Amino acid sequence: MSPSPRSMSGQKIKKICLPGRLCRIGEAGRSGSRQGGMLARSGMRRGRPPGPRGLRLSAFPSPPAPLIPAALPRPSSPVARAPRRSPPFAEAYRWGRPSCRNPSRKAAPLPCRQLPTPSSRGAQGQESASGGRCLGRCCGAPVRASARAAPPQARASVTITKLSAGRRVPRSPAVSPRKVITTYCPANNEPIARVRQASLKDYEETIGKAKKAWNIWADIPAPKRGEIVRKIGDAFREKIQLLGRLVSLEMGKILVEGIGEVQEYVDVCDYAAGLSRMIGGPTLPSERPGHALIEMWNPLGLVGIITAFNFPVAVFGWNNAIALITGNVCLWKGAPTTSLVSVAVTKIIAQVLEDNLLPGAICSLVCGGADIGTTMARDERVNLLSFTGSTQVGKEVALMVQERFGKSLLELGGNNAIIAFEDADLSLVVPSVLFAAVGTAGQRCTTVRRLFLHESIHNEVVDRLRSAYSQIRVGNPWDPNILYGPLHTKQAVSMFVRAVEEAKKQGGTVVYGGKVMDHPGNYVEPTIVTGLAHDAPIVHQETFAPILYVFKFQDEEEVFEWNNEVKQGLSSSIFTKDLGRIFRWLGPKGSDCGIVNVNIPTSGAEIGGAFGGEKHTGGGRESGSDAWKQYMRRSTCTINYSTSLPLAQGIKFQ
């Protein structure tokens, strides 16, 4: 028999559950208390014995079969109430109602063992003894999800109240209610989950425990930290299909892109594992005899990570993997509209950390909105704040961080351009533009917004693009044959409509698309607009939607200037066979972007290079190359190993 689960502080952990017929995310025992990520609870009472733990979601509106994941991580129970095999990395998303495996018992005998229906809850939200369903442990049989579909009216409910790395916090009437948001599937606008956001009090407790976890993590040698990160990558590799489907469900990108995004996290973990044996500073020659001059690099401490909806896994992975091997702990606030992905990612990481006897608070998650983000930006305990989002919000974040002389890493908007010269290979140009403009429904920061075509090839390329656009397969993003899914929210659809209308007012002609599609969900037609001036106001405004503005140009000098005239400077690309032009493009008078490509699209960056841009894109660099330096502090160290004391610059002070 295993001992009763205890937290880091030694206190016993109680069962955590959520209302029946609703989505349940529950954590209890060692894993839920120490992960430092999400502690989801509802109706928790003092005196409850430990119950089932891990991530369970049930009674969602039933999706198409290809989307249904079979498993996501649930830490194995440290409590052995009955002999049973502990599943590897455990079960997770199950569609349908939970049912007891013990056919002789129809309901749990104890109120604390029941998962009540909404009608069985009291006025104060407490569980009643009637109308519940068996949670499994009360009768010695674990809960499973049956194959029966949930009723259409069922709604998911995720109560995320805390990111706890230590003790449980009992539910108290004195605790003020926390904001609850609803996440929706972009493909049909059906509710997925109701997520209760963390309060500022929860934030304070979480960051305190993350800082304590740093004292453990910083003492581990970098190569050993790299080994942990490698194991995190392996854990994601095992769950790549399942997590990719969840990304497709909640974010709305097509399945192949959702899986590819998880693969990007895996790749970064592999890269970081090797990097953990290579980071460090040089030994420099000293001008003084008997002296050594070296550079020392040390971790910053706590890295705050705020990510956007469009890449709910990969962007966190870039930051997390590199921050970990450089000796930092992480506090993550994902986008509220992709909270389930954030929870799943955090639980996978927590399992790896705890399997290696490390506190889960090394990687903490807080679900929240602008109040949490503002607090992170102003918090001096956050040694580096990595922010991915719009330029407008990024500017506010930068000012708040700079006000406290903090350190920020910004990856903001991009108004990216592709330039095709008269000698361009059109068999490369057309598919490149198609992928860069339509991929992720135009919701990448590297999406091409502006296409500059030499006047000699303009009409031919536009005709080819119209033909290619007409062949795009549109539909449910979890269908592996689909190339184009929905926008993320209804607000994005409204933004698309306004941008198209504004482009028409400013002289543009819609040659393809431009309308909202008659399809459930947030679908709009991928759009091509010609006839605008290169400096039209709508062109210089980044619209996070699949709208491509096409222009004619005559010579190299003017089109290079047009590429650089926008405020953002993220990604750019030219298509040409002229070697001289290529190196002028890469040189000081060429593109002023952080990503400068030749004969490939603006999107689809590899993890080995530093990712980021200039100007209003923020200037930050993530992922590869020497981006690791942004997560560390540098010290120049002079060591005198002689018996004399010579001064630099030959100064005599006697």
Closest CA to 576 of 602, 550, 556: 556
Least confident of 40-49, 298-307, 357-366, 408-417: 40-49
Least confident of 58-72, 82-96, 417-431: 82-96
Closest CA to 523 of 482, 546, 493, 502: 493
Residue 49 pLDDT exceeds 60 = no
Contacts of 606 (CB under 8 A, 6+ apart): 624
Residue 33 pLDDT exceeds 60 = no
CA pair distance 539, 547, nearest whole angstrom = 10
CA pair distance 630, 634, nearest whole angstrom = 10
Is 411 annotated in the active site? Answer: yes
What the chain holds in terms of domains, given with CATH numbers, is 217-413+625-632 (3.40.605.10), 416-610 (3.40.309.10)
**pLDDT, greater one: 84 or 512:** 512
Q: Which is the catalytic residue, given 411, 525, 542, 556? A: 411
CA pair distance 615, 560, nearest whole angstrom = 16
Residue-wise pLDDT tens digits, 478-494: 999 999 999 999 999 99
To the nearest whole percent, how much of the chain has pLDDT over 70? 73
CA pair distance 147, 132, nearest whole angstrom = 20
> What is the pLDDT at residue 177?
60
φ and ψ at 88, to 5 degrees? Answer: -70, 120
Q: Answer whether 365's CB lies under 8 Å from 397's CB.
A: no
Is residue 192 helix, strand or coil?
strand
Is residue 388 helix, strand or coil?
strand
> What is the pLDDT at residue 137?
32
Residue with tokens 């001992």: 3
- 255-275 and 240-251 helices, crossing angle to 10°: 130
Residue-wise pLDDT tens digits, 581-596: 999 999 999 999 999 9
